[in-house]
Amino acid sequence: MQTFDLSRRFTAEALGTGILVATVVGSGIMAETLTKDVALALLCNTLPTGAILVVLITVLGPISGAHFNPAVTLVFAGKRELPATEAAFYGIAQIAGGIAGTLAAHLMFGLPLLELSTKVRTGGPQWFAEAVAAFGLVATILAGIRFQRNAVPWLVGLYITAAYWFTASTSFANPAVAIARSLTNTFAGIRPTDLPGFILAELCGALAGMLLMNWLLGRGEARGPVPIAETSR
């Protein structure tokens, strides 16, 4: 597998996070423009987000690993698969790219470049939902890498599509995306004052997912049920 230098990897992380945020914010603006039905608007926001994740992870994954998420980067640093210094620069690139994505979405729709969000997203249920969302995302990524590496783009895209609807927070699951979304007073926004609770919950959920999957996927003595694929032969 080709190895890319740090500048290309950081650029891929910034680019991927930027396009992801532009999709989240832009599709939210488009949805609000086309319908007043909140459920339909959420669906219009969900489908493009899941779809673009499949594309971005497929095309940029070979360059940087396609984290696009400081919580995911923290997990790989915790697993000692990414040096701490590189992980820090990944996080900076992701946050910068995410903010650029918000700016791009605003430019496309003729809105002011930066508008602090006034959308309230706070409270215990929302924080717990974010922890669950990040936990499930990390579990999906780690198990996907272990068992179906080529399917990871689809697994992540489908997980986020589902998590938009089964979590009370609509599954930000990403500190860089949360920061970027605080700078848009549109459908996808979150008040800046609500960021600390979301970010802390996301990081805790991601670390909990890493700890569980490290144990669950640990290479112990082979026991347990035979995989379905084996029984069909």
The answer to the question of residue 181 being in a domain is yes
Burial of 64 (0-12, 13-18, 19+ CB in 10 A): buried
The answer to the question of residue 69 being in a domain is yes
> Interior CA angle at 136 toward 1 and 200, to 5°?
100
The answer to the question of residue 227 being in a domain is no
The answer to the question of residue 104 being in a domain is yes
The answer to the question of residue 196 being in a domain is yes
In this prediction, residue 2 carries a pLDDT of 64
- Report, as ranges of residue numbers, the positions in the chain whose pLDDT lies below 70: 1-2, 219-233
Please name which of 171, 26, 12, 170 lies closest in space to residue 97, comparing C-alpha atoms.
Answer: 12
Q: 116: which residues sit within 8 A by CB, 6+ positions away?
A: 182, 183, 185, 191, 192
Yes or no: say if 178 and 190 are a contact pair by the CB < 8 Å rule.
Answer: yes
The answer to the question of residue 80 being in a domain is yes
Task: Give the total number of structural domains in the chain.
Answer: 1
Residue-number span of the structural domain to which 182 is assigned = 6-215
- Amino acid 151 reads A
Domain CATH code at residue 145: 1.20.1080.10
Please name which of 97, 117, 134, 128 lies closest in space to residue 194, comparing C-alpha atoms.
Answer: 117
pLDDT tens sequence across 187-217: 999 999 999 999 999 999 999 999 999 999 9
The answer to the question of residue 232 being in a domain is no
In this prediction, residue 153 carries a pLDDT of 98
The answer to the question of residue 225 being in a domain is no
Q: 190: which residues sit within 8 A by CB, 6+ positions away?
A: 117, 119, 121, 172, 178, 181, 182, 198
Which pTM value belongs to this model? 0.92
